[in-house]
Structure 1
Amino acid sequence: MARVLVTGSSDGLGLLAARLLAEQGHAVTLHARNAVRRDDALRALPEAEGVVVGDLASLAETRDVAAQAERLGRYDAVIHNAAIGYRERRRVETVDGLAQVFAVNVLSAYLLTALVPAPDRLVYLGSGMHRGGSPDLGYLQWERRRWDGSQAYADSKLLDVVLAFAVARRWPQVRSNAVDPGWVPTRMGGPGAPDDLRLGAVTQAWLAAGEDEGARVTGTYLRHQRPQRAHPAASDERVQDELLDRCAQLTGVELPEQ
């Protein structure tokens, strides 16, 4: 049995991945943004081991989520599923003065990675849209360019893949991978999304706890349990190191040596 933490798991893909893991006999900790969402998550998956609560748009609350997780004990795997989408019509700023899409989709995953004791496996949620993302880290906050929600989302998903590959390189004893779940009908994807929702969660759960050889990879981008071509920037060590440096500057927390 594995112990797995799944962020952004009060609904959607995160909840589905958590449910798959629970059905397989694994111990799952959910994550919800607030107390109301926590209650929703527990009603949806009452067999969950627990729920950590905090808004990942806030650096302080993200630190608190990490502290809650650490108190519950070491995890065998963490699935970084939490994300917001691309339909915002304007740049939304967090309490820390950061662009919300970047803060939730990328910076919170970095901070939790750095603060939660390293598990055996890490899974980061990417997107096929990451291939249209820009690796230029000079415009992370969108304060000096016209807002484009789709581009901001694509950029963030590219950086999630960069982060997964950077961690795989820096922490060779941890299996760190990124996943494209497909365009699935969640709140983010919309009701008209054409891909299979349940299939969209299978790869995350499989990478987190699967015992077959295919799940024992690292530094890989996968869709439906098969390796896929990632944006070339994801494998660029210069881009990886620059992202880790920028995240460390913004959070005040460096990725520990392992």
Structure 2
Amino acid sequence: MSTLPITSILHSLQHQRKSLNHRATSLALISLIVVSFYIFFVARPSLDLAPIALRTDALGHAGTHGSHQQDRDDPPPSSRLFRLPSNSQRKTVVSNLNRPQIELDESQELAAVAAFIAALPQNMIPRSIDPAKPIDPQLVLDFDTRSPRAADELNQIVQDVWSRYPVMLFTKAHNAHSREIRRIIAVMDLQPPPMTFEVDQREDSEVLIPLLHRLTSSTDLPLMLIGGKSVGSIAAIRELNESGELHRLITNAGAVLDGRKKKKVH
């Protein structure tokens, strides 16, 4: 007889639990409807402002003159922001990919390497390259080496590097001949001053030294470049200095002897 009340109680609890679950589900559904209504009908105007701001920034309008006419002529923001590249743009990319890289002769390769390591102290020749073979132009040139203008840009770099650094020295930190060549140049008080690299102190010395030997036909350091050309061994440099020919070569390359002193006079 005692089982009947217990059964009734259990049925009552199950009914209450189902009722609570139904209420929770209903509340969750109502909340979802309210949030969706807010997003699509209340917050939508503020969200629509983002594409307009992006479009204006992308165009780079500095002022408001003529901007209303520009806005009318331009396609809507959504079509601008997600527009696919034009046929001409795709053809240009494909054309550059199919175009072979420019090839550097030894003088151009020397200029490219010199410009690369002179640009920033942290610029290092990758250790993975084989210094006995021509270097990949893209490793040391900061432009697309497959573009139609690659040859013109290369010629500009060659002119710029030797104009900026008429005299370039590749020396060793603790070496008698290196100290001698630095002393010869220091006495001249050149303007612009020579660009000097202590090659044995660089992280890429194991690659850079044989690379320089291949490009200049030199067999050891120190190495002096005047106008991008090696002037020979230390013995040859001594002879050129004693005869005055070294001064002539340096001035012909664009450097000024006693440059800082003359600048102070003016």
TM-score of the superposed pair, with normalisation by structure 1 = 0.26
Q: Greater strand share, 1 or 2? A: 1
